[in-house]
Amino acid sequence: MSYSHSIPIEAAPAELAVSADGVAVNPGAPGVSARHRVLFVVESGTDVRLVEGLEEISSLVILARKIEHGREISQLPSVPVQMTVGPSSRPRFAELVFRTLIAKRHEYDLCIVQGYGLAALAANSAAKLTGKPTVMFVCSATEEYYRCRAAAFDGENPYRRFEHSILRTLARLNARSGGRYVVLSRHLESVVRSHGARVEVCVVPAYGVDVDVFKPSTTPKSVLKTQLGLPTNGTIIFSSSRVAPEKDTATLLAALAELVKANRDVWLLCLTGRHEQFAKLAEKFGVSDRVVVGDAVHPTKMLATYYQASDLCVQVSRSEGLGFSPLEALACGTPVVATAVGGLKETIIDGVTGWSHELGNPQDLAAKIAEVIDDPEESSRRAANGRTMVCRDYERGTVFRQLSERIDALVG
Identify the residue with better confidence: 161 or 1. Answer: 161
- Please tell me the distance from the alpha carbon of residue 254 to that of residue 275, in angstroms, as a whole number: 17
Report yes or no: 372 and 337 within 8 Å, Cβ to Cβ. yes
Interval 56-79 mean pLDDT: 94
Which H or E run includes 64?
A: strand 59-65
Residue by residue, DSSP assigns 115-126 as: TTSHHHHHHHHH
**Per-residue pLDDT reduced to its tens digit, 356-376:** 999 999 999 999 999 999 999
Query: Per-residue confidence at 35, pLDDT binned at 50, 70, 90?
Result: confident
Beta carbons of 85 and 66 less than 8 angstroms apart: yes
DSSP-assigned beta bridge partners for residue 289? none
pLDDT per residue as tens digits for the range 97-111: 999 999 999 999 999
Nearest to 339 by CA among 324, 319, 325: 319
Q: Is the pLDDT of residue 242 over 90?
A: no
Per-residue pLDDT tens digits for 281-325:
999 999 999 999 998 898 988 999 999 999 999 999 999 999 999
- CA distance readout (Å), 350 to 117, 169, 214, 362: 34, 36, 22, 17
Distance of CA 34 to the CA centre of its chain: 30
**Mean pLDDT on 222-239:** 97
pLDDT computed for residue 31 by the predictor? 35
pLDDT tens for residues 374-402? 999 999 999 999 999 999 999 999 999 99
Position 330, amino acid: L
Residue 298, judged by CB atoms within 10 A of its CB (0-12, 13-18, 19+), counts as middle
d(CA 259, CA 264): 5
pLDDT of residue 300: 87
263 Ramachandran zone, left/alpha/beta (phi>0; psi -120 to 50): left
162 alpha-carbon distance from chain centroid: 27
Does 344 score more than 70 pLDDT? yes
Query: In the sheet that 235-239 helps form, which strands lie side by side, from edge to edge?
Result: 291-294, 266-271, 235-239, 312-315, 336-339, 355-357
Nearest to 186 by CA among 208, 204, 174: 204
Q: Average the pLDDT over 179-207 and give the result.
A: 95
Q: Residue 11 pLDDT more than 70?
A: no
- Domains within the chain, CATH numbers bracketed: 17-208+396-411 (3.40.50.2000), 221-393 (3.40.50.2000)
Q: What is the pTM of this model?
A: 0.90
Q: How confident is the model at residue 18 (pLDDT cuts 50, 70, 90)?
A: very low
Instruction: Reply yes or no on whether the pLDDT at 70 is more than 60.
Output: yes
Q: Which pLDDT belongs to residue 155?
A: 65
Furthest-apart CA atoms within the chain: distance in Å: 65
Model confidence band, residue 275 (pLDDT cutoffs 50, 70, 90): confident
pLDDT at 221: 97
pLDDT at 128 over 90: yes
